[in-house]
Amino acid sequence: MKNKKIETKIIHGDKLYPYTGPVVFPIYQTSNFRFKNSTIATRYAQGDESVYVYSRMHNPTVNQLEQKFSEIYCKKAILFCSGMAAISTTIFALCKSNEEILTIPNLYGGTYHYFNEVLPNFNINIKTFDPNSLEDLFYLITPQTRIIYFETPTNPTLGIVDIQKLVKITRKLETEYKTSIFVILDNTFATIINQNPFKFGVDIVIESTTKYLGGHSDLLGGLVVSSNNIIKKIKNLRKYTGSIMEPFTSYLLDRSLKTFLLRVKQQNQNAFALAKTLEKHKNIRRVLYPGLKSHPHHKLARKQMSDFGGMLTIEVVGGLKNAIRFCDNLKVAVNAMSLGGAETTVSIPVLSSHIGLTKSELAQQGVTEGMVRISTGIENKDDLIQDFYQSLNKLK
């Protein structure tokens, strides 16, 4: 069947396996694969990718899920053992020493540290640009620029970066300098359900499948989606970094995928309801949620997102002391760092994702001590509102 919709694709993929086979794709829990005869081994030696040899290269369970993601994105997809493995392998596959990466200051902490502490050791230069002033790219991009890497919505202020504008400026300079620049977007916060970056010309989409795609806080994984040529390069390096997803994790992720859309829709609704209600509470200074009219980038969010996601950030009165008190008095929401699970989680950026940043770095990113980041789960929305209210009411 042609033109299947995403609701169908996340369940059935491209129907790889035989109609007489199991409904659920089996877990090939094996490192090694037997060759029927040496003709098969020869086919592999000659580059036939359909021959399974060793699970660090590929594995049927992982492969069927990669095919499913390829169907969903209408591009080529590969899987990794974590989001960071996906990010680091992609960067090392595409960027050489003496080249540079342009990025935004408010990246996910792991990526920020990898960029600023690891890549300079390989002579890869990191330069930052202000996502609210994309015109700066006209003088920041140079012939050495190989990658533009960003996130939108950003963590934890839920700022929105204009994807289309960023891509347009990049393409202009790429033509001028006759170079190739890869535009990479970490789409973990929004997911494909709320934002399809390929619509705006992005080259590579990365997601930590640990978050919304996994959705049950019980697996680690990463996804990279791009053109055949780009994926070929990244996949080749994945063999040597040994960073492929595990077969059992692929099974778990495929299981999660079946309810992905339902979960994300519910998370979107719960986040919107919470954001609207919390804005009215006297102990809240600010609610940052792209779906609110009060959000500084609301118009842009409407333009490039189909819905506004499950992440929001509140700023309570009284700074860090009250942020801690608020988190500790919650009865339903869980105080935990990760996001995208079925359960609502809260975390304080200055004690988690933004730990160790100087006062001026925090100010540059708009992060304050009273901020609490919320990843909305799929619980009953009234229970969540009641829980947040009872805890906010205890603040002095």
Question: Per rule CB under 6 A, is residue 225 in the interface with ligand PLP?
Answer: no
Cross-strand bridge partners of residue 32 = 54
Question: Per rule CB under 6 A, is residue 246 in the interface with ligand PLP?
Answer: no
- Smallest separation (angstroms) from ligand PLP to the CB of 12: 26
Question: Per rule CB under 6 A, is residue 110 in the interface with ligand PLP?
Answer: yes
Question: Per rule CB under 6 A, is residue 210 in the interface with ligand PLP?
Answer: yes
Contact segment (CB under 6 A) with ligand PLP among 41-49, 128-136, 183-191, 272-280 equals 183-191
- Smallest separation (angstroms) from ligand PLP to the CB of 315: 20
Cα distances (Å, whole numbers) of residue 80 to 64, 77, 193, 222, 227: 14, 10, 21, 5, 17
Sign of CA dihedral 312, 186, 355, 160: negative
Cα distances (Å, whole numbers) of residue 204 to 129, 185, 191, 196, 225: 19, 6, 14, 11, 6
Cβ–Cβ under 8 Å, residues 69 and 209:
no
Q: Give the Cα separation of 224 and 218 in Å (integer).
A: 20
- Smallest separation (angstroms) from ligand PLP to the CB of 367: 15
Assigned token pair, 27: 């877990």
Nearer of residues 196 and 391 to ligand PLP, judged by Cβ: 196
Contact segment (CB under 6 A) with ligand PLP among 159-167, 186-194, 257-265, 319-327 equals 186-194
- Smallest separation (angstroms) from ligand PLP to the CB of 257: 16
Contact segment (CB under 6 A) with ligand PLP among 9-17, 76-84, 124-132, 259-267 equals 76-84
What contacts 220, CB < 8 A, 6 or more positions away? 81, 82, 83, 210, 214, 249
- Smallest separation (angstroms) from ligand PLP to the CB of 375: 10
Q: Reading across the β-sheet that carries 182-186, which strands appear in turn?
A: 76-80, 222-226, 204-208, 182-186, 145-151, 100-103, 125-128
Nearer of residues 245 and 284 to ligand PLP, judged by Cβ: 245
Question: Per rule CB under 6 A, is residue 309 in the interface with ligand PLP?
Answer: no
Assigned token pair, 307: 């819905």
Q: Which of 222, 247, 309, 341 binds ligand PLP (CB under 6 A)?
A: 222
Task: Identify the three-state secondary structure at position 347.
Answer: strand
- Smallest separation (angstroms) from ligand PLP to the CB of 188: 4
Question: Per rule CB under 6 A, is residue 84 in the interface with ligand PLP?
Answer: yes
Question: Per rule CB under 6 A, is residue 220 in the interface with ligand PLP?
Answer: yes
Positions touching ligand PLP (CB under 6 A) are: 82-84, 108, 110, 151, 155, 186, 188-189, 208, 210, 220, 222, 338
